[in-house]
Amino acid sequence: MEKAPLIAVFGAGSIGCYVGGRLAAAGARVRFIGRERMAKQVATEGLRLTDHLGADRRVPPGEVDYRTDPAALGDADLVLVTVKAGDTEAAAASVARYAPGKALVVSFQNGIGNEEILRRALPGRTVLGGMVPFNVVQLPGSTFKQASGGALDVEKSDALAPFLAAFEAAGLPLHQHAEFRPIQWGKLLLNLNNAISGLSALPLREELSQRAYRRCLALAQREALAAMKAAGIRPAKLTPLPPSLVPWLLELPDWLFLRLASNMLAIDPAARSSMIDALDSGRRTDVDWLNGEIVRLAERNGVPASVNRRLVELIHESVAGPRRRWSGDDLLRELRAAR
């Protein structure tokens, strides 16, 4: 019988292990490529994939194909790139060297333009932008939990046809979009909270339940919306409200916000920003490709971005240490002073 397509997850951390694990648990051929630490962990424990709705799937240790050598891309039919945005160029070089020319490449990364970096390194190959809208948290051991809702988004392409059934079977259907860049800008607006969450060191639901932190996010989003307007960018609507009204919602008093924004807080109490994990472990964060993207856009279009610039600086200061856990009131004062 003809073998099923091989799906390679390149950069298999929390997002990669969860998406790839769900595919593997549903019977797809999946190969994970990532760090030695994770390889040892899943070799012993396998993978457990849970979500906020009660799903619980497992891939036994002996059935997890986890490698550390990029040469394992050699027979991939689909490559899911899930590395941090700052590692995209290095990932692109590995894909160019090892993956077959026929392999479809999808960037499931935060930030704007990662797929363009991949395309420049992979001329003549099919490369699509993608987005993972939900939060994934790693629990003790090799348990990865989807802690919020959402479906996988990807650029529309006929090249996806051989893989659609596998994603459907995994409970992760691919939502295809003819115009994908507005989706990325809409997600970036929401991801501006990653820096605020990282500085607070609080789980997302606890952080967003406090008005002072939400006001910090509203400041960052208003700057971003002004920069996008100056550049002629219209971000997609990814919440019940249009992007221009989200800062207004964020600034409401707690009692009213909790009543009107129940969907925003419909996340698992364990959900936390990946920025916290990066700061906790001393790894490089992706703040330069989130808030930093807004700073660069604002500079190109002659509008201010002092709040987002200060958030970038504060994250860099936290990486350099010592790390400070900011209260909402203190962070709000700091960001207002930067304006």
Q: Among 155, 178, 201, identify where a domain stops.
A: 178
CATH number of the domain residue 87 falls in: 3.40.50.720
Does residue 263 sit in the same domain as residue 163? no
Does residue 292 sit in the same domain as residue 330? yes
Residue found under tokens 């207004």: 248
Does residue 155 sit in the same domain as residue 201? no
Does residue 169 sit in the same domain as residue 283? no
Does residue 118 sit in the same domain as residue 132? yes
Pinpoint the alpha helices (H) of 192-290. 193-200, 204-208, 211-231, 246-250, 254-260, 274-281
Does residue 155 sit in the same domain as residue 207? no
Tokens of 56: 């619980």
Asked whether residue 1 is domain-assigned, the answer is: no
Q: Among 178, 194, 221, identify where a domain stops.
A: 178
Number of residues that make up the chain? 339
Asked whether residue 61 is domain-assigned, the answer is: yes
What's the domain range around 24? Answer: 6-178
CATH number of the domain residue 224 falls in: 1.10.1040.10
Cα 158 to Cα 178: distance, rounded to the nearest angstrom: 11
Does residue 72 sit in the same domain as residue 204? no
Does residue 142 sit in the same domain as residue 207? no
Cβ-count burial 283-308 (b if 16+ within 10 Å, e if not): eebbbbbbbbbbbebbeebebebbbb
- Give this prediction's pTM: 0.94
Question: In the chain, which residues have pLDDT < 70?
Answer: 1-2
Q: What does the pLDDT read at residue 1?
A: 53
Number of domains the chain is built from: 2
Cα 211 to Cα 261: distance, rounded to the nearest angstrom: 12
Q: What does the pLDDT read at residue 71?
A: 98
Does residue 14 sit in the same domain as residue 149? yes
**Burial classification of residue 228, based on how many CB atoms lie within 10 Å of its CB (0-12 exposed, 13-18 middle, 19 or more buried):** buried
Does residue 163 sit in the same domain as residue 190? no
Does residue 37 sit in the same domain as residue 117? yes
Q: Among 162, 178, 194, identify where a domain stops.
A: 178
Cβ-count burial 11-44 (b if 16+ within 10 Å, e if not): bbbbbbbbbbbbbbbbebbbbbbbeeebbebbee
Q: What does the pLDDT read at residue 2?
A: 65
